[in-house]
Amino acid sequence: MDLSQKEWAENQKATEGSILLDVRTQEEFDQGHIPGATLLDIRDPHGFMEGLTQLDRSKTYFVYCRSGARSAQACQLIKQQGIETCFNLLGGIMEWQGEVTR
The residue segments making up the domain with residue 88 are 2-95
Whether residue 102 is contained in a domain is answered as no
Q: Express as a percent the part of the chain with pLDDT over 90.
A: 98
The whole-model pTM stands at 0.96
Q: What is the mean pLDDT of the chain?
A: 96
Q: Where are the alpha helices (DSSP H) in 2-92?
A: 5-14, 26-31, 45-54, 69-80
Q: What is the structure's pLDDT at 80?
A: 94
**pLDDT tens track for 11-40:** 999 999 999 999 999 999 999 999 999 999
Q: Decide if pLDDT at 102 tops 90.
A: no
Instruction: Return the closest-CA partner of residue 60 out of 41, 94, 81, 83.
Output: 83
For residue 80, the domain's CATH number is 3.40.250.10
Number of domains in the chain: 1
Secondary structure tally for the chain: helices H, strands E:
4, 5
Q: What is the structure's pLDDT at 74?
A: 98
Whether residue 35 is contained in a domain is answered as yes
Whether residue 76 is contained in a domain is answered as yes
The whole-number average pLDDT for the span 79-83 is: 94
Catalytic residue numbers read 65
Q: Decide if pLDDT at 49 tops 90.
A: yes
